[in-house]
Structure formats: structure tokens, C-alpha cells
């Protein structure tokens, strides 16, 4: 029988150690190239549909949530500028930097699944150049082969699979995969079904897709919404991917070994309509997959086969309506299970079952730690060969647990979690470790800098025999602070990526004693607070690179620079602004900022008399980190309309902009003179739909006027003139229909006056 164990004075001696471990415990995403038998879960990442400045951020995010592989096409007509002329480095558009993408994947240890053959769905001409013959195709395939041949997994590169037989390079064909849209309401059930049957999965529609102007196969909206926005916000549709990615971090390697067992049953009869259950078994770890497609919560007991005892046991199961649950069963605590470094457990010790999804399990310094997806309270039952020394820490708090002396089983409570992802960690001290080592308050590492990392040891002898294990490219210099404490100066490579994680480990005599997974940060982060945003509809926006701030051409304007100190201590930064024909007051300033804090610096910028349009300037930062950051100002004439042009979305073609003190209108010449944006600057609200207006296939000629733009297309001429907050569009033939209707956003309203078939007046008031 189980007896309730409470936290006593003796157990409190290891409580602090347990709390330290659980605070820093976080399952690391596996890295490295896949084995032939490995289960594949990939995310579609069409790099040409995403601003180059966001590639690193998004790929780091994918790695951090547990994704190991990305899939993408390489559009022939995107990289071929003319027969024999190719851009793979971004010289004509940042989004053509295929070599840069491969470097990022290599640095992150992510695998690439390359689709080297057309068609490219949704892309202009399906990815084929307007003029394509056998000779141009041979030239294209040779260029592509030359780039990818040395980047395959067999050469230590990221290209693990190539789809299509035209390229003769050393890469395997990808497995047949189930395509699942992240926006599908049944995505979680579909992915669990594929997971349970060993079928690979390719997730689509994960990131927002922003087409370069003129490259969409139709004239619809340039922005196709995904589960993750341009600003990095995770929409509710990302939940299924996040759940599946977290689960597969540790379960993915087990999938090829799982085999179906007899279907789980209720003690009293069949499963209710809409509820399905599959049991999958393997020598190291088994699971019960339950999908509840009914409209009612499923709460009952299931009779399942336990592989370790070869008997039928009964486990409780709770699955909300419309949800899925992957419940662990007979998970070995020895290294043949999910805990690869659990060397202190015998083959008979195991997690018998848990009523919540097991995301990860680790053991170090005598403490067994587990992480679960637990939207409500549950339990985990351990089969052990000795009584734990205690205590149990669950969700950061000490809790009682039950121990059965006869069966040598511990029943541990799993508290339900309201945290993002419903994740909860529990840990129990199994034994008092003979040797132990810990990282002391290690939270983050600064890229390109020396980082002080303190470590403590159970004895001076252990400290003397220990060593610090580092990721490739990292170096460290030790300094003894006391007989049982060592401080390391850890050098992080300058080409490491902001937001990525690095795992550091302490070992002695070949035994792992402590581990820390630390996030990597640049020394500082900079934002120009007045930078304009390019809007797509009312809910998506993108900050151009370099950032652009409008200023009064006559009297100058104030600019605010926000600086975030990413160091774990107070740092001092020196800022210097400089630009031809521009004067900054103050031109130089110094500021001290607290640990992980953010402060703003104000400066006023003036332009020389007679200057107009866009002007480049640089912000140089020294001190606790160095950078030379390009920025721009738009000199805005008071009471007049500025007509200017810049590549705002990084797509390789410049947009045309009309701007006053009150409003901004953005147009594209690449898709029929599309009117992309009409923004009231007070309130920063865009009044156009995501598709804009007047879009059509093909490019048009654009000419700047004193207060407007002239567009010339096949058989028509159109002008757009702006004064104050009024935009007038006229055409020498009847204007096409435009989906722009009167609307009010906040305190500003858009009025639409169609004065004739060839003239429309749009006013923000």
C-alpha cells in the first residue's frame, strides 16, 4: 500500500539543490544530422517569402521549440536574373541570399530538406523563367549543384535530403510525409495519428508569408497569414505545432522502434464514439495515444498492456473534448529509455505510467527531473529499487508523495499548470550523490564576449578532477576561487546567433554531474522608436531595414534610441551619431543601464538647408559591445508632400511613397501599381485591406510628380496625388473596382468619394 511521505527537516538539506536544478532544467533540442531510421518532422520555410532580416530570428525559434529540419523550394526564376546570371548571395535582393540561409542552418545544426525542382506553388510562373530551354536548365542545375554539393550531410553540412532527381549530389531522397497545415483545426489529431503510425510530418503555413511585389501567382494579398506573425507573435494556431515539437524532442528517436499493441479498452466496455486509443510499445519506452474528437471530455480508466511485466494494468485517463494525449507507459529509467544519461538506474526501474504527456526526463546529481504537459492535475508512478531520499519539488513548491514499501513504487502528483504550454516540472531526489557539481546562477551568455560562469563542487577533490564540456567553437579559461569553486571565463563565438541556446556540462571521471542550458544574447539590442512600419491590412506590420524615421526638414525633430542591456550586470554604452548633411545634438552620449534593463536616449537631428528625401546616417555603439548600425531619416517638408522611394519589405524592388505630416500612402510598381497602404500617422492605423487596391499582374512605369506619382500601364495612365490626409486617384480610363470602403479605426475615419468613373477621393479625418 502507498504511504504518504512528507517533507521533513532531513529532506530540506537537499531542497535547495533540487530547486536549483529544476530552475535551470530545460530539455535541449537534439542537434546533428539525422540517422536513416530517424523519425522526420519538418517545417516548411520558404525563405523567399520571408524578410531576410527575420530569417535568423525565426529559425532560432524553430530550433528552440524542438524542430530539427526545415523544408524549402529554390525557385529557378527567383535566382536567375538572366540566362547565365544568378544571384545566390543577395546582391540584388536580400531574400536571394541562399548561401546565407545555408550558413544559418549550419550554425544552428538544423537539417535542410531541399525541393530542387519546380513547381513552386503560389509563385509566379510556378518558379520557371519566362525563357527556359534545355541549355538554360543545364546551367541552372549546374549552379545549384555546385552550391549544394559541399553542403550535404555527408560533408558536415545541413542539406540532408534533396527532393527531385535532376541534381546529382550526395543527398538522400526525403521520406514520404504527411502535409499538415498549422492552421487546420484538427492539426494536433492529424499529427498524433501520423506520429503513432510512424509517418513523417511536414508542417505548412507556420510563418506569415510575405510575397515580394510582383512574384505572387495571382494579384491577391501579398501577405498570407500563418501561425506566427511577422513580429514573431505566436497565434493560437501555433498550439498544435508547439505541442508536437515539444513532445518529439525526446520521443522522436523512439518512433521507429514503436510497434502497435492490443487496442486499449475500458473495463466496462468500448470507448465512446469519437474517442480512439492506440498503444505503441518498444523495449525502452511505450505510450498510449488518445484522440478525443467527441464533444465531451473523456474521463475513464483504460486497460492497457504493460511491456515490462507483460501484464494488463489499468491507468486513469483524462482527455478534454477536441484534444489529444500521448500518455507515457513503461518508460525505462535506464539509458535505453528517454533519459539518455540515466546511468544510475537498472533495467527494471521505470516510469510505470503518467496521466500527463511526458516531454522530457533527466537525471543528475542524484535528482530525477521530469517535465510534463499538464493542463490539469495528474500523477506519475515510478518503479524503483530503493526508496527516494526525497524531497519532491513540483511546479516550484514542495509536495507530499506516496511510497509503497512492498511494491517499491512512488506515486508523484503532477500539478496542473496555467503557464504557457501548460508545462510543469517535477523533481525528486532519488539518492544522495557521492559526487556533485552545479552551475551557480548561470542564466545567459553574451555573444562575442567573455562570460563569467561560477561552478560549485561537493569536494575539492571533485573540483580538481572536473572539466567543463563546451559546444563546438566555445572556449573557457578556469580560475579557482576556492578549493570547491571554479569560475570559468567562457568565450562565445562572435558568429553565434541571438536567442539560440548552448548546453554546458560538468563532468568528472567520465560521469556527468551538472548541466546548464543557457540562452545566447547580443551584448545589446537597439531600436529606433520613431521608425515607420510597413502595414499589411490592419494587423500585420514590418519595420524596414535600415529603419526610417521622418523628421521636419526645416526645424529638425527629436529621435529616441532604445537600448536594451542584455548583460547580467550594469553596463555602460557610448553612442555616436553621424550622417552627411545632418547634425545631431548631442552627437555623442554615454549611458549606464542595469542588468537586462532598457533605457532610452534622446537626440535632436537637423538637416542642412535645401536637403530633401531619404538621408543615411549611422549610430556607432562602443563600450559593453560594439556595433555600427545604418539608419535613415526622411526629410519631410512642412505643409507639403514628400515623394520618395525605398525597398521597404526587402523584396528587391523599391516601393513608392507619398507622405505628409498626417498620412502615408505606399504603392508598388511591380504588380500593376498596387496601392499597398494608407496610414493615418496619428494612431499608426492602416485603412486598406491586406490585398491593398488596384493590384494587377505585371509591372508598370512610375514617375514622381511634385505632390504625387504617375503610373503608366498597358493602355492606361493613372495619377495619385496627396495633400494633407487626402489622396486623389485619377485615371484616363475608368478605374478598376477597389475594395476600399469607408471605415472608422479609433478616432479616425476614412471617407470615400467617387466623383466619376475615373476619379476617387480618399480622406482620413
In the chain, domain spans: 41-243, 260-429, 437-515, 523-638, 640-765
Compute the Cα dihedral for 432, 435, 439, 441 and give only its sign.
positive
**8 A C-beta contact, residue 547 and residue 531:** yes
Cα-based distances in Å from 25 to 21, 335, 377: 6, 18, 21
Looking at residue 613, what is its pLDDT?
92
Q: For residue 216, which of 738, 697, 739, 701 has the smallest C-alpha distance?
A: 697
> What's the chain's average pLDDT?
92
Tens digit of each residue's pLDDT (9 = 90 or more) over 450-508: 999 999 999 999 999 999 999 999 999 999 999 999 999 999 999 999 999 999 999 99
Mean pLDDT of 379-404: 93
The answer to whether the CB of 381 falls within 8 A of the CB of 354 is: yes
Segment 73-111, tens digit of pLDDT: 999 999 999 999 999 999 999 999 999 999 999 999 999
Q: Would you state the cell numbers that stand for residue 16, as one nine-digit string?
A: 535547495
Answer yes or no: are the C-beta atoms of 546 and 584 closer than 8 Å. no
Separation between Cα atoms, residue 765 and residue 749, nearest integer Å: 5
Task: Residue 361: name the closest of 400, 412, 325 by CA.
Answer: 412
| pLDDT above 90: residue 113 | yes
Closest CA to 523 of 452, 621, 590: 621
**Is omega for the bond preceding 546 within 30 degrees of 0, making it cis?**
yes
Rounded CA separation 582/580 (Å): 5
Answer yes or no: are the C-beta atoms of 662 and 680 closer than 8 Å. yes
**pLDDT (0 to 100) of residue 273:** 93
Evaluate whether 41-243 and 523-638 have a shared fold.
no
Flag whether pLDDT at 39 surpasses 80.
yes
Q: Does domain 41-243 have CATH number 3.40.50.2300?
A: no
Enumerate residues 6+ apart whose C-beta is below 8 A from 641: 658, 659, 660, 706, 707, 708, 721, 722, 723
Question: Is pLDDT of 208 > 80?
Answer: yes
Name the grid cell of 325. 494525449
For 635, list phi and psi in degrees, rounded to 5: -80, 110
pTM: 0.93
Q: What confidence tens digit (pLDDT) does each residue in 324-374 have?
A: 999 999 999 998 889 877 878 998 999 999 999 999 999 988 899 999 999
CA distance 55 to 104: 8
Query: CB burial class (10 A; 0-12, 13-18, 19+) of residue 329?
Result: buried
Task: List Cα–Cα distances, 343 to 93, 326, 332, 381, 724, in angstroms.
Answer: 52, 26, 11, 20, 73
Reading the block at residue 190, the C-alpha cell is 492529424
For the CA atoms of 100, 104, 110, 114, the dihedral, rounded to the nearest 10 degrees, stands at -10
Please, which pLDDT band fits residue 574 given cuts at 50, 70 and 90?
Answer: very high
Residue whose C-alpha is closest to residue 163's, from 144, 190, 184, 138? 144
**What totals of helices (H) and strands (E) does the chain contain, helices first?**
8, 57
Whole-angstrom Cα distance, residue 315 to residue 317? 7
∠ CA 162-117-159, nearest 5°, is: 20
**CA 743/CA 752 separation, integer angstroms:** 9
Q: Is the pLDDT of residue 8 over 50?
A: no
Indicate whether 37 pLDDT > 70: no
- Name the class of domain 437-515: mainly beta
Task: Say yes or no to pLDDT of 541 above 50.
Answer: yes
Q: Cα 48 from chain centroid?
A: 17
pLDDT at 610: 85
Mean pLDDT confidence for 308-323 = 90
Q: Which is nearest to 651 in space by CA: 235, 54, 233?
A: 54
Grid coordinates given for 5 = 511521505
- CATH number, domain 523-638: 2.60.40.10
Which residues, 6+ apart, have CB-to-CB distance to 155 below 8 Å? 149, 170
CB atoms within 10 A of CB 752: 14
- pLDDT for 420: 82
pLDDT of residue 20: 47
C-alpha angle with apex 510: 505 to 516, nearest 5 degrees?
10
- Give the 3-state secondary structure of residue 339: coil
Using one digit for the tens of pLDDT, what is the confidence trace for 417-448? 998 889 999 999 998 888 889 999 888 999 99
| Residue 437 to residue 549: CA distance in whole angstroms | 51
Q: Which 3 state secondary structure label does DSSP give 684?
A: coil
| CATH superfamily, domain at 260-429 | Beta-galactosidase, domain 2 (2.102.20.10)
Q: Round to the nearest angstrom and report the end-to-end CA distance of the chain.
A: 76
Following DSSP, what letter does each residue of 117-182 receive, concatenated?
SS--TTBGGGG--SS--HHHHHHHHHHHHHHHGGGBGGGTSSEEEEESSS--SS-BPPPPEEEEET
Q: Evaluate if residue 538 carries a pLDDT over 80.
A: yes
Amino acid at each position: 500500500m502507498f504511504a504518504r511521505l512528507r517533507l521533513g527537516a532531513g529532506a530540506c538539506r537537499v531542497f535547495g539543490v533540487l530547486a536549483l536544478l529544476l530552475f535551470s532544467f530545460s530539455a535541449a533540442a537534439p542537434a546533428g544530422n539525422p540517422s536513416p531510421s530517424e523519425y522526420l518532422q519538418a517545417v516548411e520555410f520558404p525563405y523567399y517569402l520571408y524578410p531576410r532580416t527575420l530569417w535568423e530570428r525565426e529559425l532560432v525559434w524553430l530550433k528552440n521549440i524542438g524542430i530539427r529540419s526545415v523544408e524549402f523550394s529554390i525557385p529557378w526564376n527567383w535566382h536567375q536574373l538572366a540566362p547565365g546570371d544568378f544571384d545566390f548571395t543577395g546582391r540584388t535582393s536580400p531574400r536571394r541570399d541562399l548561401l546565407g540561409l545555408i550558413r544559418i542552418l549550419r550554425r544552428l545544426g538544423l537539417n535542410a530538406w531541399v525541393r530542387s525542382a519546380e513547381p513552386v506553388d503560389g509563385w509566379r510562373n510556378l518558379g520557371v523563367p519566362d525563357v527556359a530551354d534545355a541549355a538554360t536548365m543545364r546551367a541552372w542545375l549546374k549552379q545549384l549543384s555546385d552550391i549544394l554539393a559541399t553542403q550535404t550531410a555527408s560533408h558536415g553540412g545541413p542539406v540532408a535530403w534533396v527532393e527531385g532527381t535532376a541534381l546529382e549530389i550526395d543527398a538522400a531522397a526525403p521520406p514520404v510525409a504527411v502535409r499538415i497545415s498549422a492552421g487546420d483545426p484538427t492539426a494536433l489529431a492529424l499529427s498524433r495519428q501520423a506520429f503513432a503510425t510512424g509517418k513523417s510530418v511536414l508542417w505548412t503555413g507556420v510563418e506569415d508569408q510575405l510575397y515580394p511585389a510582383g512574384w505572387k501567382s495571382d494579384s491577391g494579398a501579398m501577405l498570407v497569414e500563418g501561425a506566427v506573425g511577422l513580429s514573431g507573435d505566436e497565434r493560437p494556431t501555433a498550439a498544435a505545432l508547439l505541442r508536437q515539437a515539444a513532445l518529439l524532442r525526446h520521443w522522436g528517436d523512439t518512433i521507429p522502434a514503436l510497434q502497435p499493441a492490443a487496442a486499449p479498452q475500458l473495463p466496462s466496455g468500448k470507448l465512446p464514439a469519437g474517442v480512439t486509443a492506440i498503444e505503441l510499445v518498444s523495449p525502452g519506452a511505450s505510450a498510449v495515444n488518445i484522440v478525443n474528437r467527441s464533444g465531451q471530455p473523456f474521463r475513464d480508466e483504460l486497460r492497457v498492456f504493460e511491456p515490462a511485466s507483460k501484464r494488463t494494468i489499468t491507468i486513469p485517463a483524462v482527455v478534454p473534448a477536441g484534444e489529444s494525449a500521448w500518455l507515457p507507459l513503461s518508460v525505462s529509467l535506464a539509458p535505453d529509455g528517454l533519459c539518455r544519461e540515466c546511468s544510475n538506474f537498472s533495467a527494471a526501474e521505470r516510469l510505470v505510467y503518467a496521466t500527463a504527456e511526458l516531454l522530457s526526463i533527466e537525471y543528475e546529481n542524484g535528482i530525477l527531473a521530469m517535465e510534463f504537459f499538464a493542463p490539469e492535475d495528474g500523477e506519475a508512478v515510478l518503479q524503483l529499487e530503493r526508496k527516494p531520499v526525497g524531497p519532491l519539488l513540483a511546479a516550484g513548491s514542495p509536495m507530499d508523495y506516496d511510497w509503497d514499501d512492498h511494491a517499491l513504487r512512488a506515486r508523484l502528483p503532477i500539478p496542473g499548470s496555467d503557464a504557457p504550454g501548460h508545462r510543469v516540472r517535477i523533481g525528486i531526489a532519488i539518492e544522495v550523490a557521492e559526487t556533485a557539481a552545479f552551475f551557480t546562477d548561470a542564466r545567459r551568455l553574451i555573444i562575442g564576449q567573455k562570460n563569467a560562469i561560477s561552478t560549485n563542487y561537493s569536494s575539492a577533490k571533485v573540483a580538481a578532477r572536473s572539466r567543463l564540456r563546451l559546444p563546438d567553437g566555445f572556449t573557457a579559461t578556469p580560475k579557482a576561487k576556492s578549493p570547491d569553486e571554479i569560475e570559468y571565463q567562457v568565450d562565445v563565438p562572435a558568429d553565434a546567433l541571438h536567442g539560440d541556446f548552448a548546453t554546458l556540462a560538468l563532468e568528472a571521471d567520465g560521469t556527468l554531474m551538472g548541466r546548464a542550458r543557457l540562452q545566447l544574447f547580443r551584448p545589446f539590442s537597439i531600436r529606433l522608436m520613431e521608425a515607420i512600419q510597413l502595414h499589411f491590412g490592419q494587423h500585420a506590420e514590418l519595420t524596414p531595414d535600415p529603419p526610417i524615421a521622418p523628421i521636419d526638414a526645416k526645424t529638425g525633430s527629436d529621435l529616441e534610441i532604445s537600448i536594451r542591456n542584455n548583460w547580467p550586470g550594469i553596463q555602460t554604452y557610448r553612442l555616436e551619431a553621424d550622417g552627411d548633411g545632418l547634425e545631431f545634438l548631442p552627437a555623442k552620449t554615454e549611458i549606464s543601464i542595469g542588468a537586462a534593463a532598457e533605457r532610452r536616449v534622446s537626440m535632436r537631428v537637423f538637416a542642412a538647408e535645401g536637403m530633401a528625401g531619404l538621408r543615411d546616417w549611422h549610430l556607432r555603439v562602443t563600450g559593453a559591445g560594439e556595433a555600427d548600425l545604418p539608419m535613415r531619416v526622411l526629410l519631410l517638408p512642412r505643409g507639403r508632400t514628400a515623394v520618395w522611394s525605398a525597398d521597404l519589405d526587402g523584396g528587391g524592388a523599391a516601393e513608392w511613397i507619398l507622405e505628409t505630416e498626417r498620412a502615408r500612402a505606399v504603392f508598388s510598381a511591380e504588380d500593376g501599381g498596387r496601392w499597398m497602404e494608407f496610414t493615418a500617422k496619428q494612431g499608426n492605423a492602416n485603412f486598406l485591406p491586406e490585398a491593398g487596391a488596384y493590384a494587377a499582374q505585371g509591372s508598370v512605369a512610375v514617375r514622381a510628380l511634385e505632390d504625387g506619382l504617375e503610373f503608366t500601364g498597358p493602355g492606361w495612365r493613372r495619377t495619385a496625388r496627396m495633400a494633407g490626409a487626402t489622396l486623389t486617384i485619377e485615371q484616363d480610363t475608368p478605374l478598376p473596382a477597389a475594395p476600399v470602403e469607408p471605415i472608422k479605426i479609433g478616432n479616425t475615419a476614412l471617407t470615400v468619394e467617387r466623383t466619376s468613373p475615373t476619379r476617387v477621393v480618399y480622406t482620413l479625418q
